[in-house]
Structure 1
Amino acid sequence: MFVYMFLIGLLIGLAIYALTYLFVKAMDNKKRVLVVAIIGGLSLIGSLTVIGGFEGMPFGVLSLGILAISIVLALFGQSSLGKKLIYTIVILFIISYSALIYFNQVDYWIVKKTQYSGGDDFGSYTEQLQTDTTIQGYETFTISEGNKAVILSLGEEMAGNNIEVLDVEEYGNTTEIKIRTFYNNSVEANPVIAIGLNRVQSEIIITDTDGRIYEKATKDD
């Protein structure tokens, strides 16, 4: 998500710079760049002070994209050719990156807890997690139609918490799952979430917004 917000910031920065020609034609490059930088700076300050916290981070990253464009235009946008190259390279990069992500994106979904029960290994494991609450970390299973499931349990120390999946990304031989945990009086003795995926790479990384990294499932002794 943050990469996309940065790319959107780049586009917004280019759009703001182009709009300066619409409103004020007689303006040198430094002043046009200054307009972009001021808007980017105000946006960054707003994301930190007005929104703040985790919710403000995406807007902060977007602001950094706007500021990055102002720096690039300040350095290389003095000539007409330089501006054309910047616009062409940035737009082509965004299109190419978006196409790459689109064709390589991982389809994922949250398995409903009403579907946990069953006589297979998947169902047996989810039942075990509520009787042996020392188990924390993730396990992988093959489910219907050859799809995969990653089951993450937080362990008894996180009882009362819930888990929200923010994003799933894939790069090389790694599947990265980004989550957020929050306390909401969950009745589960061992908080659990099952994530269905169309494919899983050999290396799995699960990270929380607080910086915690979840390893393969273990038991507390």
Structure 2
Amino acid sequence: MFFIMFLFGLVVGLALYLLTYVFVKKIENRRKVLTVTIIGLLSLLGSIFAAYRVDTMSYGIAFLISSLGILVVGFLLTLFEKSVVWKKSVFTFVILFVVVSSFRIYINQVDYWIIKETKVFNEEEESYLQLLQKDPTIQGYKAFKQVVVLSLGEEMAGDSIEVLDVEEEGNTTVIKVKTFYNRSDEKNPFIAIGLDRVQSDVVIEDTNGTVFKEAPAVE
């Protein structure tokens, strides 16, 4: 998600620079670049303020990353301000970088769906879900052939889990989630994620920086 926001910031930075030609044609190029940089700095300050608030922290961090993308464009345009050839090269490089990165993200993404409790599981998966409620101390993830189950344990009772993104990096399935308190009545909050395929390695990351480990083997 954060890399996508950085790409978004690069596109916004280029768009802002092009807009200066539409609305303020007569000002010199240095001021046009300065305009992009100032907007990037203001966006950065606003995102830092939002990141300090608990309820808007994730949005603040995301826009902070996009602000860095705007500032990168401003920096590159400043660096090659006097050279038309290099300026065109900056535009070409940024556009190609965004296109190639977007294509790579598209290729690496995996179709996933959240399995509701009413959906029929196979015997092994059903037994594991029942075990989670009998033993709320179980915390971590359990990977099956096409399902990954994440449980938070009794210490996080009252929380819920939201899946933000699923990608593949080589032989690793990377799942990004967000946990939040919403007075859930589950003794051991969990989520079951259906996937087209599950790679040999699984990494599950929370937006607060927590990396969940594989759940301990239980009988």
Q: Does 1:104 align with 2:102?
A: no
Gaps of 5+ in 1: 143-147
Q: CA RMSD in A?
A: 1.8
CA contact 1:77–1:86 (8 Å) conserved in 2: no
Answer with 124-133 or 162-171: which moved more.
162-171
Q: Does 1:138 align with 2:136?
A: no
Distance (whole Å) between structure 2 residues aligned to residue 118 and residue 110 of structure 1: 12
Aligned residue pair count: 214
SS at match of 1:218: coil
* 1:92 counterpart letter in structure 2: L
Q: Does 1:207 align with 2:205?
A: yes
Matches of residues 29-108 of structure 1 in structure 2 within 5 Å? 29-49=29-49, 52=53, 53-108=57-112
Distance (whole Å) between structure 1 residues aligned to residue 200 and residue 217 of structure 2: 22
Deviation at 1:211, TM superposition (A): 1.6
The percentage of aligned residue pairs carrying the same residue is: 54
Matching residue of 1:2: 2
Distance (whole Å) between structure 2 residues aligned to residue 197 and residue 109 of structure 1: 7
SS at match of 2:144: strand
Distance 1:79 1:27, change over 3 A: farther
Distance (whole Å) between structure 1 residues aligned to residue 7 and residue 35 of structure 2: 19
Deviation at 1:85, TM superposition (A): 0.8
CA contact 1:29–1:74 (8 Å) conserved in 2: no
SS at match of 2:125: helix
Distance 1:218 1:25, change over 3 A: same
Matching residue of 2:24: 24
Distance 1:204 1:118, change over 3 A: closer
Distance (whole Å) between structure 1 residues aligned to residue 91 and residue 35 of structure 2: 17
CA contact 1:175–1:203 (8 Å) conserved in 2: yes
Distance 1:77 1:126, change over 3 A: same
SS at match of 1:200: coil
Deviation at 1:175, TM superposition (A): 1.5
SS at match of 1:18: helix
Distance (whole Å) between structure 2 residues aligned to residue 134 and residue 150 of structure 1: 18
Distance 1:156 1:73, change over 3 A: same
Deviation at 1:153, TM superposition (A): 0.8
Gaps of 5+ in 2: none
User: What is the TM-score normalised by the length of structure 2?
Assistant: 0.90
Matching residue of 2:159: 161
Deviation at 1:219, TM superposition (A): 7.0
Distance 1:156 1:50, change over 3 A: closer
User: What is the TM-score normalised by the length of structure 1?
Assistant: 0.90
